[in-house]
């Protein structure tokens, strides 16, 4: 009975457009800025300190950017670079 109600609740949430799981610590524009910093030659450890994330997070973002998106057929880094036109770090 608990299982049925849980599944019904999750189904209702999905129908309302909600997703499960933890929210991302980095916004898409921050991810784009990280890619731009990597492209400029900054060290992953330095970028990780700036954004207060683990170095592995920076590596994962870089690895995701190297893969081609099956939906768009384009590399995510190309889309991310456009979003990085207004860097977040310059606001601080």
Phi, psi of 84 (to 5 degrees): -85, 10
Q: Does pLDDT of 81 surpass 60?
A: no
Render pLDDT for 20-35 as a digit per residue (tens, 0 to 9).
888 889 999 999 999 9
Q: Where are the domains of the chain?
A: 26-84
Average confidence (pLDDT) over 61-90: 64
Helix (H, G, I), strand (E, B) or coil at 72: coil
Cα 82 from Cα 73, distance rounded (Å):
16
Supply the pLDDT for residue 70.
64
Q: What is the pTM of this model?
A: 0.59
Q: Does pLDDT of 73 surpass 80?
A: no
DSSP state string for 14-59: HHTT---SPPPSS-HHHHHHHHHHHHTT--HHHHHHHHT--HHHHH
Average confidence (pLDDT) over 45-55: 96
Supply the pLDDT for residue 92.
47
């Amino acid at each position: 009975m608990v299982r049925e109600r849980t599944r019904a609740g999750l189904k209702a949430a999905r129908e309302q457009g909600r997703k499960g799981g933890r929210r991302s610590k980095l916004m898409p524009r921050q991810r784009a800025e990280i890619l731009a910093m990597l492209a400029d030659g900054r060290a992953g450890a330095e970028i990780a300190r700036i954004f207060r994330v683990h170095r592995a997070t920076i590596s994962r973002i870089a690895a995701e950017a190297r893969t081609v998106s099956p939906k768009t057929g384009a590399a995510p880094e190309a889309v991310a670079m456009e979003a990085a036109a207004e860097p977040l770090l310059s606001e601080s």
